[in-house]
Structure 1
Amino acid sequence: MSSAAIATVLKMMESLSVEAQDRVAEHLREYINDLQDEIQWNESFERTQQKLVAAAQRAKQEIAEGQAKALDYDQL
């Protein structure tokens, strides 16, 4: 699959030295990996968002009912 944007980037890269092309390619690999991680995180968050909301509501209710205990950070 190719787009005009990809073709433009390729033409720009072709005008660079081989060393510069390698550097750009490495930066693009890192950037794409970061984007993929972000997409995966967002998808995971979307799948669990309702569970997080339910847990927060349950915690809020327990606090309101006096059932919650303060966390003692010294005992962790």
Structure 2
Amino acid sequence: MSSAAITTVTKMMESLPLDVQERIVEHLREYIDDLQDEIRWNESFQRTQQKLVAAARRAKQEIAEGQATALDYEQL
């Protein structure tokens, strides 16, 4: 699949020396990898968000009922 943006970038890159093209490709790979990681993180967060909210509510309730104890960092 090709879009006008991809066509534009391709034409821009073709005007550059090969070594510069390779550097650009490497930067694009890293950038796309980062974007894919961010997408996966967001999807994972969306899937678990309700569980996190429920856990936070449960913790607040336990604190209000006096069932919670302070965390002792020395025991970690």
**Which TM class, normalised by the smaller chain length?**
over 0.9
| Alpha-carbon distance, 1:27 to partner | 0.3
Map of 1:73 onto structure 2: 73
**Greater than 2 Å deviation, 4+ residue runs:** none
Map of 2:24 onto structure 1: 24
User: Which amino acid is 1:51 matched to?
Assistant: K
Q: TM-score by structure 1 length?
A: 0.98
% of aligned pairs identical?
A: 80
2:37 pairs with 1:37: yes
Question: Matched residues in 1 for 2:5 and 2:24: separation?
Answer: 16
Runs of 5+ unmatched residues, structure 2: none
| CA-atom RMSD in angstroms | 0.5
Runs of 5+ unmatched residues, structure 1: none
| Alpha-carbon distance, 1:25 to partner | 0.1
Map of 1:50 onto structure 2: 50
User: Which amino acid is 1:9 matched to?
Assistant: V
User: Which amino acid is 1:22 matched to?
Assistant: E
User: Which amino acid is 2:66 matched to?
Assistant: G
| Alpha-carbon distance, 1:16 to partner | 0.7
